Amino acid sequence: MPPAWALPLGDIDGSPVLRNGRVYVGSNDGKVYAVNALTGALEWAAPFLTNDGPVKSFVFPDRGSENLYFATDTKVWGIVDQITSAQELWPPVTLPGGPPDPSPSIVLFAPGTSWLYVGGSNGRLQQFDLSGATPVVTSVMLGEGLAGIGAPTLDRGMAPNVIYVGGEGGVVYAVAVPF
């Protein structure tokens, strides 16, 4: 069976994410697109996201608002879907600990909170407090801080205040949150 629609957007390695009738996808040239899920029409392309590498894996939606979060090579981004365009929520954030700037992992927004989590090549799990006008970033070193930390995940059921994350050193960590 042929697809219902197809929209060429360039080189995309990440996963599309569906929210409220829109498909969000990040491209390898660092742009984010919003596509109408029924028609395949391009709703908007975020024009300001360039020069920092590809969008890592997928755009993470806050399902309780119009906010979207993602990472590129050295920055963590927050944008808001404004129906016909996107706008930055705050200037992109470079993880503390450089130079060189640590590379962020795929992001995790904890639903029903103001917390965003991201692993880093600096051996730390970063916590972004999004309750103010600009994020406040704190972090916790995992192990000796020598191995990169991957994408975090959480289970809102059994351990609702625990983030799980793996490291390049072959260790999986359970971290109580918020720190």
- What was the pLDDT predicted at 165? 97
Cβ burial 124-134 (10 Å sphere, 16+ → b, else e): bbbbbbbeeee
- Each residue of 32-81: pLDDT tens digit? 999 999 999 999 998 666 688 999 999 999 999 999 999 999 999 999 99
Band the pLDDT of 99: cuts 50, 70, 90.
low
For range 76-92, the mean pLDDT: 93
Q: What is the dihedral of CA 65, 139, 123, 25, to 10 degrees?
A: 10
Query: 60-64, 126-130, 157-161: which range is least confident on average?
Result: 157-161
Task: From the options 2.40.10.480, 3.40.50.10320, 2.40.110.10, 3.40.50.1370, give the CATH code of 1-6+16-89.
Answer: 2.40.10.480
pLDDT for the residue numbered 128: 97
pLDDT at 158 > cutoff 90: no
pLDDT of residue 51: 81
First-to-last C-alpha distance (Å) of the chain = 49
Q: What percent of the chain has pLDDT over 90?
A: 81
